[in-house]
Amino acid sequence: MTFNIEQARNAMVEQQVRPWNVVDVQVLETLNSIPRELFVPEAYQKLAFTDTALPIGQDQWTLKPVIEGRLLQALKIQANDEVLVVGTGSAFLTACMAQMARAVTSIDIHAEFIELAKTKLKSLELNNVEFEHADVFNYQPNRQFNVIAITGAMALVPENIKNWLLPNGRLFVIHGQSPVQEALLITRVGESFESESLFETDVPYLTGAQHKPQFSL
């Protein structure tokens, strides 16, 4: 039987993402229009639309489609927004946000992910993305953002990342220790921050962001 990519993509959106309380029309349309199969290794292309995380190298993984949908919906990305993606990874979420926002900066500690992402987004004529080879723990952005999306889990969220938000800016992050992690939406309100718990999950950590055991003698 011939594999029907468009049928699989539609099933992903309608049978996985939408039932997970993702109802934002723009988000659903974006997930339907960005070719997710382009953003996974060729050997896994037929699995691109399944409810599973897929390996992309460097001990990093994609997020499940349902989590990507919830992330995009929670951030309420507007056409004039400037977005920071921490963890380019497969670049699928970077591509989605590039379609939704005015400008995107996408950083990753792995140079090979950056180079692959540049090629993929160029092929889709998404020209509003700036890529940077950087480690988030040493990164110093030259501006603030309306939206920050952290695409892998962090055991602890560095406080300085919140300060990269503009007023009313939104930050999505999954934090905590596997196997019980929490997805948070953090919103900047004046000089303070409000946190909203979205859901519990268990996803791979960003490189260097996992819990480091403390030993004592």
DSSP conformational letter for 173:
E
Residues of the chain with pLDDT under 70: 1, 211-217
Residue-wise pLDDT for 64-98, tens only, equals 999 999 999 999 999 999 999 999 999 999 999 99
Q: Where are the domains of the chain?
A: 53-59+70-201
Tell me, what amino acid is at 79?
A: A
State the alpha helices, DSSP H only, in the chain. 5-11, 25-33, 65-75, 92-100, 111-123, 159-162
| Residue 190 to residues 168, 169, 194, Cα–Cα distance (Å) | 7, 10, 10
The rounded distance, in Å, linking the Cα atoms of 189 and 167 is: 6
pTM of the model: 0.95
CB 155 within 8 A of CB 177: yes
CATH of 53-59+70-201, one of 3.40.190.80, 2.60.40.1730, 3.40.190.10, 3.40.50.150: 3.40.50.150
